[in-house]
């Protein structure tokens, strides 16, 4: 039995507006209580007196820890160290999209995944040596069996396959990726700009399979819209057969014009992701809150934006224990500040880099990973400095 004055929670996020799509909570004013590394309770007014630390997050949005389905932490010259840019932007789980292949995954795990606080999963590049440059052009290095064997060895960390950037003709890289996915019951994320011998409609309607992902879905290089800004019919047909569309913002893969036209015509993304790397951050501040803000500005309802950034990517990587605020589940929680003001949001369309002015922006206020506060922009979870004890007894 607990006496009323004894803290039963380590941290109470008090007064926020909670979005937890997996549990059907969409915009309710609830408290979220954390004990140790788990969610202890979600409910109205959980009695602040019983928590060791209380953060008043009234007016802010509380969501499950964000999940970024497309990042670069290894194997690419523009890769970033995960923690500084993920945790500071509300991301507690991130997927490296093809930085490593079956030959280099162990090194990736040893040098990056195992050392990071951010929970990292991998999509294994069909190119055995991983991403960018020669390996992604070398068909001999793309082996479906060895890729599948590596996935079977580390199903705890490898969630699928990436096929990207192949400049030669034909379907071999994609077909091999699909074969490896079939063998391991995973999915392929594809970034293949169409060429005349490899058109986008054939790719999505004949070569990819249900559950496979087209990333960079609003990129000028993936022609979702025609010259009249109409979404091409075969994109709807691809969605009907279960192809999944991911934002993968990047530094060259998000056009306001395409995104707005598509969303107006009933083609929102399935998942929001950043394609986080040096230049996507520097050119477009392509973080999760920034990319989520862009979807809001395009008219996607907030509850859908949150689902696309939490529960849907969790389902995609088959980790239903993540992307929710379920009681007794792991305490990955993000608090977002939804500010009003005068803001500018940049893109990178084929006709040049543009800006769109808008009056709202989401920013990460607090990030909790496994029960630990790993980002707290305004110190809301901390006691006031005036409680600092005097320096009595310290040697001068």
Question: Which residues are near Zn ion by CB under 5 A?
Answer: 97, 275
Residue 218 CB, shortest distance to Zn ion, in Å, is 14
Q: Closest residue to Zn ion, Cβ-based? A: 275
Query: For Zn ion, which is the closer residue by CB, 10 or 275?
Result: 275
Q: How far apart are CA 39 and CA 369, in angstroms?
A: 11
Whether residue 231 contacts residue 258, with contact meaning beta carbons closer than 8 Å, is answered with: no
Residue 136: DSSP 8-state: G
Residue 355 CB, shortest distance to Zn ion, in Å, is 23
Residue 248 CB, shortest distance to Zn ion, in Å, is 6
Query: For Zn ion, which is the closer residue by CB, 17 or 280?
Result: 280
Query: For Zn ion, which is the closer residue by CB, 97 or 203?
Result: 97
Residue 279 CB, shortest distance to Zn ion, in Å, is 11
Q: Where are the beta strands (DSSP E) in 21-131?
A: 25-35, 38-43, 51-56, 61-64, 66-71, 91-101, 119-125
155 Cβ neighbours under 8 A, 6+ residues apart: 184
Query: For Zn ion, which is the closer residue by CB, 20 or 275?
Result: 275
Q: Which secondary-structure segment (H or E) carries 182?
A: helix 172-184
Residue 46 CB, shortest distance to Zn ion, in Å, is 41
- Residue 328: phi, psi to the nearest 5? 80, -5
Query: For Zn ion, which is the closer residue by CB, 15 or 160?
Result: 160
Residue 329 CB, shortest distance to Zn ion, in Å, is 29
CA nearest to 343, candidates 364, 353, 358, 363: 358
Residue 298 CB, shortest distance to Zn ion, in Å, is 21
Helix-strand-coil split of the chain, %, nearest 5? 30, 30, 40
CA 59 to chain centre: 24
Query: For Zn ion, which is the closer residue by CB, 122 or 231?
Result: 122
CA nearest to 159, candidates 183, 182, 188: 188
Neighbour-count burial of 134, counting CB atoms closer than 10 A to its CB (0-12 exposed, 13-18 middle, 19+ buried): exposed
Residue 176 CB, shortest distance to Zn ion, in Å, is 19
Helices (H) and strands (E) in the chain, counts: 11, 15
Neighbour-count burial of 367, counting CB atoms closer than 10 A to its CB (0-12 exposed, 13-18 middle, 19+ buried): buried
Query: For Zn ion, which is the closer residue by CB, 73 or 171?
Result: 73
Whether residue 276 contacts residue 78, with contact meaning beta carbons closer than 8 Å, is answered with: no
Query: For Zn ion, which is the closer residue by CB, 164 or 314?
Result: 164
């Amino acid at each position: 039995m607990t006496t009323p004055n004894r803290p039963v929670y380590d941290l109470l996020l008090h007064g926020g507006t909670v979005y937890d799509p997996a549990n059907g909570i969409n915009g309710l004013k609830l408290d979220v209580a954390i004990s140790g590394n788990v969610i202890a309770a979600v409910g109205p007014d959980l009695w602040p007196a019983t928590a060791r630390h209380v953060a008043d997050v009234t007016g802010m949005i509380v969501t499950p820890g964000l999940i970024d389905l497309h990042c670069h932490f290894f194997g690419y010259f523009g890769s970033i160290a995960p923690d500084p840019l993920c945790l500071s932007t509300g991301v507690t789980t991130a997927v490296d999209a093809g930085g490593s292949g079956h030959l280099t995954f162990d090194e990736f795990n040893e040098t990056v995944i195992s050392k990071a606080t951010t929970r990292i999963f991998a999509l294994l590049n069909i190119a055995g040596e991983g991403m960018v440059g020669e390996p992604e052009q070398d068909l001999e290095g793309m082996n479906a069996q060895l890729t599948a064997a590596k996935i079977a060895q580390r199903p705890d960390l490898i969630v699928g396959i990436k096929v990207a950037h192949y400049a030669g003709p034909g379907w071999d890289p994609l077909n091999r990726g699909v074969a490896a996915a079939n063998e391991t019951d995973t999915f392929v994320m594809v970034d293949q700009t169409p060429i005349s011998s490899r058109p986008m409609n054939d790719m999505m309607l004949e070569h990819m399979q249900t559950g496979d992902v087209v990333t960079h879905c609003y990129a000028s290089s993936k022609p979702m819209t025609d010259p009249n800004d109409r979404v091409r019919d075969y994109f709807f047909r691809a969605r009907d057969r279960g192809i999944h569309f991911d934002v993968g913002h990047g530094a060259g893969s998000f056009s306001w014009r395409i995104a707005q036209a598509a969303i107006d015509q009933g083609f929102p993304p399935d998942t929001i992701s950043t394609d986080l790397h040096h230049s996507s951050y520097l050119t477009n501040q392509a973080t999760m809150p920034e990319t989520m803000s862009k979807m809001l500005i395009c008219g996607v309802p907030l509850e859908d934006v949150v689902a696309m950034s939490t529960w849907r990517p969790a389902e995609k990587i088959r980790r239903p224990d993540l992307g929710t605020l379920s009681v007794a589940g792991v305490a990955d929680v993000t608090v977002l500040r939804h500010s009003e003001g005068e803001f500018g949001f940049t893109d990178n369309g084929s006709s040049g880099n543009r800006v769109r002015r808008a009056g709202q922006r989401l920013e990460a206020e607090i990030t909790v990973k496994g029960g630990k506060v790993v980002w707290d922009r305004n110190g809301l979870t901390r006691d006031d400095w005036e409680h600092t004890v005097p320096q009595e007894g310290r040697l001068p």
